[in-house]
Amino acid sequence: MWFLRNLPRPDSFWIRPNFFAFYGRFVERMGVFFYNEVISRTSLGLKDPRWNPRVHGIYCHFRYYGKLDTKLLDVKIRDLPAWFGRREKTLKAMYSEFQRNVARICHLYLSPVYENAVVFMIDNESFVFSFIR
């Protein structure tokens, strides 16, 4: 019976060491493949192509460089379908909008010269919750 067999010595290794070399190389090659075939073919993480340094100045991650449109609160109810029709509804546009909002929050609350209570609370929460398992 299997449970009556002698256990291996504590100083012996129960997995052959060449397994880790193979597995590590496999993970490394898959990461390189994913970067070369997927990530490098996208424009994720690059500056907005509509940004012109002579017109806009320094690049701000939280600024929209596309054509400005009417704000949602200024749109009349009868013009809502046309307003929604002008929106870009792709995954890249949604991701860019999310990243702009994250950068705006970081710019306004997390990186000013004088810290505020938000940064203090985030630091303390991350410290306290790092001990909870």
Reading the block at residue 107, the tokens are 């710019």
Output the pLDDT for position 1: 65
Range of the domain at 36: 12-41
Q: Are residues 54 and 25 in the same domain?
A: no
Output the pLDDT for position 14: 65
Q: Are residues 22 and 35 in the same domain?
A: yes
Q: Predicted confidence band at 13 (pLDDT cuts at 50, 70, 90)? A: low
Position 86 in a domain:
yes
pTM higher than 0.85: no
Q: Are residues 77 and 119 in the same domain?
A: yes
Q: Are residues 36 and 54 in the same domain?
A: no
The answer to which of 59-63, 85-89, 97-101, 109-113 has the lowest mean pLDDT is: 109-113
Picking from 58, 62, 48, 56, the residue whose alpha carbon sits closest to that of residue 99 is 62
Q: Are residues 36 and 16 in the same domain?
A: yes
Distance of CA 6 to the CA centre of its chain: 49
pLDDT at 120 over 80: no
Position 5 in a domain:
no
Q: Are residues 117 and 59 in the same domain?
A: yes
Instruction: Give me the number of domains the chain comprises.
Output: 2
First to last CA, the chain: 38
Position 1 in a domain:
no
Mean pLDDT over 73-82 rounds to 94
Q: Predicted confidence band at 132 (pLDDT cuts at 50, 70, 90)? A: low
Reading the block at residue 28, the tokens are 């490394």
